Amino acid sequence: MYINFMIQENKNIYISYWLLLITFLVILIIIVGGLTRLTDSGLSITRWDLFTGILPPLSLEKWKYTFSLYKQTPEFLLINSSISLKEFQVIYWWEYAHRLLGRIIGIVYLAPLIFFSFKFKLNRKKLLNFYLIFIIICFQGFLGWYMVKSGLSERVDVSHYRLSIHLTVAFLILIFVFWNYLVYENENYSIRKNKLPLNLSLFFVFLVLLQISIGALVSGLDAGQIYQTWPLMNQSYFPDDSLPSDLLTFKSFSNPSLVQFIHRNLAYLIVLIFLTMFYFIFVNKKFIHLRKSVLLIFFALLLQVFLGILTILSGAYIVTASLHQIGSIFLVLASIILVYKNNRIN
């Protein structure tokens, strides 16, 4: 009886630690997923074996068989036909780590959730919220395979649209889990009356998430390897291999030059919205509680802009491109903290 009482008393602590662990794992899989893309490793595993795929090849024969499956893909036939088994193993391990992390997240999320469902007296709304996140996690696994599948038949790479959707959903999962963590860390709260005007904090998060989606298109099209100059794209503001009217068509999202142009200018808009938000917070004393949060965003955004420029100048060098993606994670988390503090009083 005493143990059950203690469990009930500390249920918020257990749930918040669980959510914090999931947050860390989602951050980790986003980083590994980014490196998997940057190292062109995503097509090394040609099958989606949910259970049998947990174990990697454990013998030379199995390695040769797995390699033979990869040899049937357009990526090998048209680009990587000269790679050896040892080189194949390098790209295999990146994709394997990415898929293994996905399985770990599913298990670490579901097993404690089932325990909480039976042991803790959670209301239906909270349980529905948690199980909805699990459904999105499962859907994300399907999206991952759907993305890989696009590069196994006719293409030598995955669809940049599917890559963008896959990354965007990963960040949505991160946002949902981290938001719930903040709620359970500070359960006794009330809704704040004095908020930033025009829903600036939410609009800022939306723009950052949109920028991440466009950034995935840049990565999928290898658009970061062209126009390696800043602030101009070579000698002009607009890419010289396109027309402004091309921006009005959906095909612009398949044009590497235009996608990089959109990514750059969306960054400028994000900075402008941030400065507006920064102004409101520091000129009005009723927003004094948001100053630490907006300063956190300032440093995250400043670092992200610097890494973005460095990524362009380096031609999307793997290290700088990966750091740029990691910077987006911290920017999103800092922005969610601001949204939370703008809406709730602890």
Backbone angles phi, psi at 221, to 5 degrees: -100, 0
The model's confidence at residue 156, banded by pLDDT at 50, 70 and 90, is confident
**Spatial separation of the C-alpha atoms in residues 331 and 215, rounded to whole Å:** 14
How far is residue 333 from each of residues 34, 91, 238, 344, measured CA to CA in Å?
18, 30, 32, 16
pLDDT over threshold 70, residue 337: yes
**Helices assigned H by DSSP within the chain:** 2-9, 11-38, 60-70, 74-78, 85-119, 124-149, 160-185, 200-220, 256-283, 291-313, 318-343
Contact 312, 324 (CB under 8 A): no
Mean pLDDT of 187-205: 76
Provide the pLDDT for residue 345.
Answer: 64
Provide the pLDDT for residue 230.
Answer: 93
Provide the pLDDT for residue 4.
Answer: 52
Provide the pLDDT for residue 1.
Answer: 47
- The owner of tokens 């004393």 is 285
Contact 173, 136 (CB under 8 A): yes
Nearest to 325 by CA among 31, 59, 82, 41: 31
The model's confidence at residue 2, banded by pLDDT at 50, 70 and 90, is very low
**Spatial separation of the C-alpha atoms in residues 155 and 163, rounded to whole Å:** 14
Provide the pLDDT for residue 121.
Answer: 76
Provide the pLDDT for residue 188.
Answer: 60
And the tokens for 264? 């750059």
Q: What does the angle CA 113 – CA 99 – CA 131 come to, to the nearest 5 degrees?
A: 20
pLDDT over threshold 90, residue 213: yes
How far is residue 326 from each of residues 27, 80, 171, 178, 203, measured CA to CA in Å?
8, 28, 12, 16, 21
> Of 176-185, 193-202, 221-230, which range is least confident?
193-202
pLDDT over threshold 80, residue 5: no
Give the pLDDT confidence of 92-146 residue by residue, as tens digits: 999 999 999 999 999 999 999 999 888 877 788 889 999 999 999 999 999 999 9
Mean pLDDT of 268-283: 94
The model's confidence at residue 241, banded by pLDDT at 50, 70 and 90, is confident
Nearest to 141 by CA among 222, 53, 76: 53
And the tokens for 70? 């990869």
Q: What DSSP letter does each residue of 81-96 carry, written as one string?
A: TT--HHHHHHHHHHHH
And the tokens for 7? 């469990």
The model's confidence at residue 9, banded by pLDDT at 50, 70 and 90, is low
Which one-letter DSSP state was computed for residue 345? E
Provide the pLDDT for residue 183.
Answer: 87
Provide the pLDDT for residue 186.
Answer: 72
Full-model pTM: 0.92
**Spatial separation of the C-alpha atoms in residues 200 and 11, rounded to whole Å:** 34
Nearest to 23 by CA among 129, 168, 180: 180
Mean pLDDT of 172-194: 81
Q: How many residues does the chain have?
A: 346
Provide the pLDDT for residue 192.
Answer: 62
Mean pLDDT of 51-75: 89
**Spatial separation of the C-alpha atoms in residues 304 and 18, rounded to whole Å:** 29
3 state SS for 180-196: HHHHHHCCCCEECCCCC
Compute the mean pLDDT over every residue in the chain, rounded to the nearest whole number: 89
Mean pLDDT of 282-303: 92
**Higher-confidence position of 304 and 289:** 304
Provide the pLDDT for residue 346.
Answer: 58
Mean pLDDT of 275-292: 90
pLDDT over threshold 90, residue 13: no
Residue 258 C-alpha from the chain's centroid: 22
Contact 214, 334 (CB under 8 A): no
**Spatial separation of the C-alpha atoms in residues 204 and 186, rounded to whole Å:** 23
And the tokens for 79? 């680009």
Mean pLDDT of 82-92: 93
**Higher-confidence position of 1 and 244:** 244
